[in-house]
Amino acid sequence: MANESQHHRNVIYTDNKPARPDHRGIGYVYYHSMLKNGEKIAQIDGNTGVEESYGQLLTRCIRTAITMQIKGIRPGDFISICSPNDVDCVVPYIASLFIGA
């Protein structure tokens, strides 16, 4: 069993400041974080080894968000996602955050 000091090596400590969520919403935070880190690897397909950058993922999420809006999904709407556990399952989730659904 790992001792307490070993557990501390896996923890990032910061100043004790209260968390303040961005008033523009989590979709705004996701968008700008993905935009800022566009060249970094966002996910790797465990079956094929294919890598996808945050920039590539952002493009897919934006396209999906636009399609969702065209189909009538609006801020405040509830959506349900049914998807296999693969690299595509995160796209509609993030897209819905972009539009506030």
> Is 74 part of a structural domain of the chain?
yes
pLDDT of residue 10: 65
Q: Which long-range contacts (CB under 8 A, 24 or more apart) does 54-57 make?
A: 57/90, 57/91, 57/94
Round to whole Å and give the CA distance between 23 and 29.
10
CATH code of the domain covering residue 34: 3.40.50.980
Residue 5 forms part of a structural domain:
no
Q: Is residue 55 part of a domain?
A: yes
Q: pLDDT tens for the chain, 101 residues: list them.
A: 454 544 556 676 777 877 788 889 999 999 999 999 999 999 999 999 999 999 999 999 999 999 999 999 999 999 999 999 999 999 999 999 999 99
Domain that holds residue 74: 25-99
Residue 19 covered by a domain = no
**Rounded (to 5) percent helix, strand, coil in the chain:** 45, 5, 50
State residue 7's pLDDT score.
52
Give pLDDT, residue 18: 77
Q: Is the residue at 15 inside a domain?
A: no
Span between the terminal Cα atoms of the chain, in Å:
44
What are the start-end ranges of the E strands in 1-101?
Answer: 41-44, 51-53
Residue 38 lies in a domain: yes
The model carries a pTM of: 0.78
